[in-house]
Each structure stands twice: as structure tokens, then as C-alpha cells.
Amino acid sequence: MQSIDDLAREITALPPSEQEVLLDKVAQLNFQKGLTDLSEKYRERLAREGRLNDGSEQLWTELHRTREEIAERDYPN
């Protein structure tokens, strides 16, 4: 496997525009990894609470209720 130094040398040899694309791609992949970790955590908790397989009607009811509660609190008129 390539060492970090070799990899860094290879990257810095790229034209700036390609370096930018590469760094954007790395950020995107890291973001995806973070999303996967969050998703796992969220799903595990819902499964523990027996809510992971709640029907979509129930989910919609909860989403609408939360939205309107926050809306009423922030914009009471």
C-alpha cells in the first residue's frame, strides 16, 4: 500500500483543478460515511424502541404534528 507521503506527493503533482475535484470527492465520501454512522445509530435506537417498522401513516402523523407544534410556538398568530 502507498505511504501517506507518496500519496501526498502524487496529489500535489496533480494540476490545481484536479486537486480541487479530488478534495471535493474525499469530502463527499467522508460525509457519506458520517451519514451511514448516523443512520446506524438512529436505526438501532428506533429498533430498540420498537419503532423502526412503524407504518408510514403513523410517521406522517408525527411529522405533521411536530411541524405544526413548532410553527404554532414560533408564529403564534
Partner 1 sequence: MTTRIERWLLDTNVWLFGLRRDEQFQACAELLYLVGAFSVVIPLQILKELNANFTKEEARVFHQLVNDYPNLVELNWKPAPGERVKYFESRGCRKGDAIIAAHAEACKVHLIVTENRQFLQTITDLNARILSPADALASVKH
53 closest CA partner among 61, 43, 63: 43
CA 67 – CA 30 distance, rounded (Å): 30
Contact status, residue 58 vs residue 51, Cβ threshold 8 Å: no
Q: Does 22 bind partner 1 (CB under 8 A)?
A: no
> Can you tell me whether residue 35 is helix, strand or coil?
helix
6 vs 37, beta carbon nearer partner 1: 37
Looking at beta carbons only, is 6 or 72 nearer to partner 1? 72
Binding site for partner 1 (CB under 8 A): 17, 20, 24-25, 27-28, 30-32, 34-35, 37-39, 41-43, 45-46, 52, 56, 59-60, 63-64, 66-68, 70-72, 74-75
